[in-house]
Amino acid sequence: MALQACSTDEKLAEGRLLASVGPENLYLEDVLNSIPEYALKTDSSAVVGQYINQWVMRQVLVQEAVRSGIMNSEEFQDRLKRLADETAMQM
């Protein structure tokens, strides 16, 4: 797990980079679009910090699952198909 800095030009081109885990980047705009406005009216720095921490942990877990081959397992593929089928039926 690593937080990366980015150049000023990159920040201007893509928005403010808050965290990076492997190839995935989290930008301030993504965070603000994901958190309801009412939550930001209380203690916005704590809410944003919690979101960033949860995002980083989620990315670490997903990338470890990919690395270990879980996503290629038969059980995973079966569960993925069932989820896709259920989602399609609800649409």
Which tens digits make up the pLDDT trace of 46-69? 999 999 999 999 999 999 999 999
User: What angle is formed at CA 36 by the lines to CA 17 and CA 63, rounded to 5 degrees?
Assistant: 45
Across the chain, mean pLDDT equals 87
What mean pLDDT is predicted for residues 1-8? 48
**The tokens of 74 are what?**
């038969």
Q: Is it the case that residue 1 has pLDDT exceeding 50? A: no
